[in-house]
Amino acid sequence: MSTVAASGGLTLRGLVKRYGAVQAVAGIDLEIRRGEFLTLLGPSGSGKTTLLMMIAGFQDATEGDILLDGQPITGTPAEKRNFGMVFQGYALFPHMTVADNIGYSLSVRGRPKAEIAGRVAEMLELVQLTGKERRLPSELSGGQQQRVALARALAFSPPVLLLDEPLGALDRKLRVEVQEQLKDLHRRVGTTFIYVTHDQDEALSMSDRVVIMRDGRIEQVGSPEELYTRPRTEFAASFLGKSNFLQRDGRRWSIRPERIDLVAQGLGRVSGRVLSLNYFGPVLKYQIETAEHGPLEVDVDAWRGGPALQPGAQVGLDWKDDAAVPLDE
């Protein structure tokens, strides 16, 4: 298997996509580093899929430029870009066997049969599907189809791999498993991964960096930890994880539910009354009404937090100085 690819750095410059009066992508500037796992995260309609389709070459940019390792590729057609892609629903060729699907990119490039067969075997091993080469896609499970799609997209050693919600069709338990496999695969092939999802857990667990998108613009870019601990906007704070919002000193602050400690009544920064509690296994989630900030959500470690408080109980709420993060206006 090839080591870190020699190329795969992308630059997006002032990218705009308009459909009539609608701006699907409203000016994106982004530097994507070679070999990184970058996730475009956003709700539907945020422009993340349109942006991916523009990078793939299936949508023309209304304005702006896309550069691969400094070379403009904005006008290059999709078939000349050499980017791998895993489609939503996989888009495996239904009339071809697994081996023909995986070998397709090499076969259309006119590579010799022996070379294709060798590469197909290598890719099957990479995604642990050896022995399934003669099957049709319809004879495979969803998880297996997803791996064939990955192998097919990586078979020609593309510098960039685009993934459009590749786990959307899998059930929850399998999704966690495949996240691990994807991360491991990314480490091994060294290709730049650009991953589109609306699932915050996927974004947090796999990415080197996450781009939070909203209304065709970038809301915030950063490592998962940066975004989680230092969200800059209310949208970023509530889309990635849960957050309470406070009004203090003339600005808005975000504070994560698990950063608030419950202390004895009269102690702490504010006092409140328990509205409700929900048991979630490892955590207890409280709704606590406070005079200063309205209802706040508080997560308490179920094992270390002491006996559960019942609705109506009076408590104090405390947090460290760095728990409250100031937000941009």
Q: Using the rule CB under 8 A, is 82 a contact of other proteins? A: yes
Binder of other proteins out of 105, 191, 192, 244 (CB under 8 A): 105
Binder of other proteins out of 88, 229, 287, 290 (CB under 8 A): 88
Least separation in angstroms between residue 129's CB and other proteins is 18
Least separation in angstroms between residue 85's CB and other proteins is 5
Q: Using the rule CB under 8 A, is 139 a contact of other proteins? A: yes
Least separation in angstroms between residue 196's CB and other proteins is 14
Least separation in angstroms between residue 269's CB and other proteins is 53
Give the end-to-end CA distance of the chain in Å, rounded to a whole number.
48
Distance CA 279, CA 302 (A): 8
Q: Using the rule CB under 8 A, is 93 a contact of other proteins? A: yes
Q: Using the rule CB under 8 A, is 87 a contact of other proteins? A: yes
Q: Where are the beta strands (DSSP E) in 167-319?
A: 192-197, 209-214, 217-222, 244-248, 251-255, 261-263, 270-279, 283-290, 294-301, 314-318
Least separation in angstroms between residue 145's CB and other proteins is 11
Distance CA 275, CA 289 (A): 6
Helix (H) / strand (E) containing 23: strand 22-32
Q: Using the rule CB under 8 A, is 83 a contact of other proteins? A: yes
Binder of other proteins out of 50, 99, 104, 299 (CB under 8 A): 104
Three-state DSSP class for residue 87: strand
Residue from 198, 212, 101 nearest 149 by CA = 101
Binder of other proteins out of 79, 171, 322, 329 (CB under 8 A): 79
Least separation in angstroms between residue 94's CB and other proteins is 7
Q: Using the rule CB under 8 A, is 109 a contact of other proteins? A: yes
Q: Using the rule CB under 8 A, is 156 a contact of other proteins? A: yes
Residue 34 or 81: which CB sits closer to other proteins?
81
Three-state DSSP class for residue 164: strand
Site for other proteins in 267-296 (CB under 8 A): none
Least separation in angstroms between residue 218's CB and other proteins is 25
Angle at 229 between CA 228 and CA 234, to 5 degrees: 65
Determine how β-strand 63-68 pairs with β-strand 10-19.
Answer: antiparallel
Q: Using the rule CB under 8 A, is 58 a contact of other proteins? A: yes
Structure tokens at 217: 């613009």
Residues in the interface with other proteins (CB under 8 A) total 29
Residue 59 or 271: which CB sits closer to other proteins?
59
Q: Which stretch binds other proteins (CB under 8 A): 18-26, 73-81, 202-210, 274-282?
A: 73-81
Place of tokens 């992508």: 25
Distance CA 202, CA 231 (A): 18
Distance CA 316, CA 210 (A): 35
Structure tokens at 112: 């010799």
Least separation in angstroms between residue 92's CB and other proteins is 8
CA gyration radius, the chain = 24
Contact residues for other proteins, defined by CB under 8 A:
56-58, 77-85, 87-89, 91-95, 104-105, 108-109, 138-139, 152-153, 156
